[in-house]
Amino acid sequence: MAETKYIFVTGGVSSSLGKGIIAASLAKLLQARGFKTTIQKLDPYINVDPGTLNPYEHGECYVTEDGAETDLDLGHYERFLNVNTSQANNVTTGRIYQSVIEKERRGEFLGKTVQVVPHITNEIKERIQILGNKGHYDIVITEIGGTVGDIESLPYIEAVRQLKWELGDDNALVIHLTLVPFLSAAGELKTKPTQHSVKTLMESGIKADILVCRTEHELSDDIRRKLAIFCNVRQEAVIQSIDADTIYDVPNMMLKEGLDSVTLKKLNLPDDSTPNLKHWNNFLERHKNPKAEVRIGLIGKYVELQDSYKSILESFIHAGAENEVFVNVESIHSEFINENTIQHKIAHLDGILVAPGFGERGVEGKIDAVRFARENKLPFLGICLGMQMAVIEFARNVMQLKNASSTEMDAHTKHPVIDIMEEQKNITHMGGTMRLGAWDCKLAEGSIIKDAYKKDEIKERHRHRYEYNNKYREQLEKAGMASTGVNPETGLVEVIELKEHPWFVGVQYHPEYKSTVASPHPLFVAFVKAAHEHSKIKSAKLAHKS
């Protein structure tokens, strides 16, 4: 293709309707037809990136291969497309304004008065087209965060209006995701919220080309016709997005609705092939028809909000399908784990994952959970802070280093088995100061981790400030905690294992960021397999007793 086509996805009526899933599903269908497709997210908040946001505010912070701290929707994009995203795939208002202000300070605007139009909107248009101008993609899908009518979103909407006019009708289209609520008192679906949302969009100079309607009930032909007439779209462009059992059903649902066909016709692209979803549907078949079940405890401190650990939960779905088991994840708040509650909360599980996090709240509960897993030979996976808790627990209870800790939680600990990187000690600003993005790791022969990856060297994504303290490495290894993954350049320990345990692994990196439908992460696959083996052994013992 000579010219990149652009698709803009906006939302109306309500937030959390699933713009990211619709964008990812459409991208999957277009990719399955052979089009080179990518997705980007424009976020209207003023933070430069989500790196300093509390997970309760905005869900997890997703990290790309190039070290960008981004919106969690980029995780959906990668899981659906199996293609890496980058800094260019996520833009925030904070980053836009920061860039424009820096240009103004350098005198690039030649003394002009800097305004939202044209300077902010020009910066947005430039960011939208960065991916398309590289010549790597046939289609770029841009998801606009927030809801139409929000003050924060107005510059993005204006930039889309301008771009749509500049690019021409065949090169850009707008998909508007909206809500068609069911009023139980009236016993019917209501189209008025959608009509008002489309009207608000039109007041900004943008006509929706396709309507995707989130609904709990089937849209009748009459309702589709009504929406088409009042919202000024073709009836075939009124797409139903009904509640699904799993987000991975949505591409097939959109295929059935013809979203990809309508899109291609409006972009004047050939609609003469059928999406190849064979691998995708094989995954769905295994996911929906498991042969067994395992219970895994997710020990964290943000468990009230599922989006806080979104990538981990999705990784379990991928790994479960690969093992043909259903992974029943029990979220357990680490603040409520102690000597009195641990037996009730953890003993029945087939494995535990101690999740990442920052700060001292809830760490003692995580340490207690690690100890239970170590002493009871329960399959264990520690990620980032979870790995650090495993080191601290081992130092305290096996090596008898009283009050061993991380300097993140105790700056004056006598035994800082986890410590801040030297180059970070003088940094006071929080944003973007961590070890981020993909780093190399060399794996030890005969280790659990090497058996999981089937490789000598791996490259995994990081997001942390504190590290395993190599000053204690010799002591820890002599006591039985093996360092089975090491960064070849820095010598920093990336993976720890326990020699006297059937499956106990802690990793400094975040494997969940790289798990996709097409490539379930090998570490999660191995962990779920170990939990399944533990479950079978436990069941056999119970059967023998009875």
pLDDT single digits (tens) 510-519: 999 999 999 9
Catalytic entry in 314, 384, 521, 532: 384
In the predicted model, what is the mean pLDDT of residues 324-353? 92
Residue 194 marked as a ligand binder = yes
Residue 11 marked as a ligand binder = no
pLDDT tens profile 462-513: 988 889 999 999 999 999 999 999 999 989 999 999 988 999 999 999 999 9
Whether residue 1 is predicted with pLDDT greater than 50 in this model: the reply is no
What is the per-residue DSSP string for 59-108? Answer: SPPEE-TT--EE-THHHHHHHHH-----GGGEEEHHHHHHHHHHHHHTTT
d(CA 201, CA 307): 29
Catalytic entry in 60, 69, 512, 521: 512
* 146 vs 430: which has the higher pLDDT: 146
Sheet holding 466-468, edge to edge: 405-406, 416-420, 466-468
| Catalytic annotation present for 441 | no
Residue 16 marked as a ligand binder = yes
pLDDT tens profile 452-465: 999 999 999 998 88
Query: What confidence category does residue 525 fall into, taking pLDDT thresholds of 50, 70 and 90?
Result: very high
Mean residue pLDDT of the chain comes to: 91
| Catalytic annotation present for 231 | no
Q: What is the rounded (10 degree) CA torsion for 50, 53, 58, 64?
A: 30
- pTM of this structure: 0.91
d(CA 455, CA 450): 6
pLDDT at 302: 81
In the predicted model, what is the mean pLDDT of residues 426-439? 65
Extract the tokens encoding 20.
């990211």
pLDDT tens profile 269-311: 999 889 999 999 999 999 999 999 999 999 988 877 777 899 9
Q: Is residue 387 within a helix (H) or strand (E), and if so which, with residue range?
A: helix 385-397
Residue 253 marked as a ligand binder = no
Q: Is residue 466 within a helix (H) or strand (E), and if so which, with residue range?
A: strand 466-468
List Cβ neighbours of 311 (8 Å cut-off, separation of 6 or more): 60, 62, 72, 75, 510, 512, 513, 515
Residue 98 marked as a ligand binder = no
pLDDT at 481: 96
Whether residue 102 is predicted with pLDDT greater than 50 in this model: the reply is yes
Residue 20 marked as a ligand binder = yes
CA 512 to chain centre: 8
d(CA 318, CA 287): 8
d(CA 532, CA 293): 8
pLDDT at 546: 63
Do residues 302 and 357 touch, judged by C-beta distance below 8 A?
A: yes
Residue type, 391: V
Residue 260 marked as a ligand binder = no
d(CA 72, CA 74): 5
pLDDT at 58: 64
* 361 vs 505: which has the higher pLDDT: 505
Residue with tokens 């290894």: 477
Extract the tokens encoding 400.
């008898």
Whether residue 424 is predicted with pLDDT greater than 60 in this model: the reply is no
pLDDT tens profile 9-62: 999 888 778 899 999 999 999 999 999 999 999 988 888 777 677 666 767 888
Query: What confidence category does residue 433 fall into, taking pLDDT thresholds of 50, 70 and 90?
Result: low
pLDDT at 399: 94
pLDDT at 428: 45
Looking at residue 255, what DSSP letter applies? H
pLDDT at 184: 82
Residue with tokens 């326990």: 498
Residue type, 382: G
pLDDT tens profile 140-199: 999 998 889 889 899 999 999 999 999 988 999 999 999 999 888 878 889 999 999 999
Residue 15 marked as a ligand binder = yes
* Alpha-carbon dihedral sign for residues 453, 457, 461, 464: positive
- How many H helices and E strands in the chain? 18, 23
Whether residue 71 is predicted with pLDDT greater than 80 in this model: the reply is yes
Catalytic entry in 76, 510, 532, 534: 510
Residue 478 marked as a ligand binder = no
d(CA 51, CA 60): 9
| Catalytic annotation present for 58 | no
